[in-house]
Every structure is written in structure tokens, then in C-alpha cells.
A and B are shown apart, each in its own frame.
Chain A
């Protein structure tokens, strides 16, 4: 293994658990990512191209899933990018019958999207987006007090339906017992024992998804109306 390969392997190992390091690695290898994308789309990709975003995401996947047994990192990443782009094109193929709103109209003067009357209120939508953004920022700040980030939560989120239902049951129990939520905010610790006993679920399952529970329990507390509205399906699950 030459020194360059060894250096990449070391950086990849660090980037696996460090978000800033992974961002730095992606920035450093952006020419490589663009080159692999260009091989696939047969042109130089622009920053706004979905293909480039997919390729960057595939590179990030390669960082997460790489191990020395897989050989050279760059070869592995190139393969990952290629596979991701193929998957993306296959998915897009399903929508082939659909007409893009960005297509020019019959007179080739305007795009189709300009001819459709917009029933949406763009102004209110922007307002909602801004409010959501603000809530998310507050939530992120509060989560930092608990020592978790969105990346952690995404990694710790339940993958299986059964686990998700168990966690949902515990969250619903906490929502119906404000004292538990108050204790959670005061102690900054997830009351696993109270949740397990009260909701009748296994404590071990809750322990495994502690960081995920932090985010959802915080959303259940006051101050996150938009977020709570988004996941109302889960929160109402046990009330019907």
C-alpha cells in the first residue's frame, strides 16, 4: 500500500465518525466526484445537477461503508457512485411518461410551468418554511444540551417497523404523562425505566434508541408545533 492510499484510508476512517472530516474529504475529492459523474452523464456536471448531488451522497456512503477488505477506497467510491447513479436513472425511468414542467410550450416561448396557474400561496409557504427552519434550529440547539445531533439521530433511528412501534408507544405514554416530559427536560436524561414500566415495552429496546427518543420527546414538548404536526400520525397512534 503506497503512502497516498494509506493517507486516504486514514482520512476515511476518521470521517466515518466525524461529520466535519467527512465534509472536508468530500470537498477535497470534489474533482474526483465530478469526474466520475461526468463519465456517467457524458458532460461536465454543474453544481445544480441532481446527478452531482447523488454522486456526492454516494461518496459519503462509500466513506461510511468502506473497509480495508474492499480494496482501494477510490475504486470502491467510484463503483459506489456508478451504482447510485444507475439506481437514480432507473428510478427516474419510471417517470418517463410524465412531462416535465420545465419543458418549453408549443410556441417555444415559455416553460410549461409558467402556463399553469399557481394555486399555492408562495408567500405563506415561505413563511412556514422559515418558521420550520427556526423550530429546527431551536430543536438542534436544545438537542446539543442532551449531547446529540441530527446525524446521531439519523444513525440511531429505528429501522424496523416493530422497533418503531415500540418507540412510538413509549413516546405516546410520555405525551399522556406530562410529569415524565417535565422530568426529562429537568434531568436532561431519558426516563427509560418510567417509560418501559408505564408503556409495557422492553427497556433494552428503548436503551438502544435513546438518542432517537431524545429528539422525539423534545418535539413532544411545547415549542415545536410544526414538527409535532408533521409527526402527528405517530403521536395519535395510541389515542384512537
Chain B
């Protein structure tokens, strides 16, 4: 299968999002990633392959191990990645505004 992988299709899958969650906090080997899932190892490998193909994850060879880390270069292109961060602040600031408006009229 040499399909050109689509980034948004890649993160539409819950297992792949869970993998990104794990790798977002630290660089990990495939084995360490797979240990977090009950899913069969080849299934996890397949997910890693897809995430790597669409360049969300980057592989780095270190000795005999391959480490995976989040591909920083592609962060900009993934609006979905930054959007929750923006939304988090938007919700906080909306709340701040509501609270302070009430405060003002007290």
C-alpha cells in the first residue's frame, strides 16, 4: 500500500491519537509504545507506520532501537493540533470576561 496518507485521516483514529498522546510527552521506542496498549503488537506497528508516513511521527535510530518522537516541523500544518490549545484559552477567557462583567456590576 503506497497510499499517500492524509494527516487528518491519520488523527481521526482514536488509537493513533492515543499514540500521539503518549509520544507527545516523551520520545519512545515502538516496544514502549505498544506496552501501553492491549492491541496486538503488529496492529500498533501498523499505526506507527501510518503516523510516520504522514509525518506526524519521526523515527530516530539509536543503537538497535528505533525511537519515535512528534514531528515538530509538521505541527504548523496540523490545525487540529493547535486548535484545542486555542479553544482551551478561548474558553478560559470567555469565562474570565463573564465573571468580570458580573464583578463590575456588583
A-B interaction: no
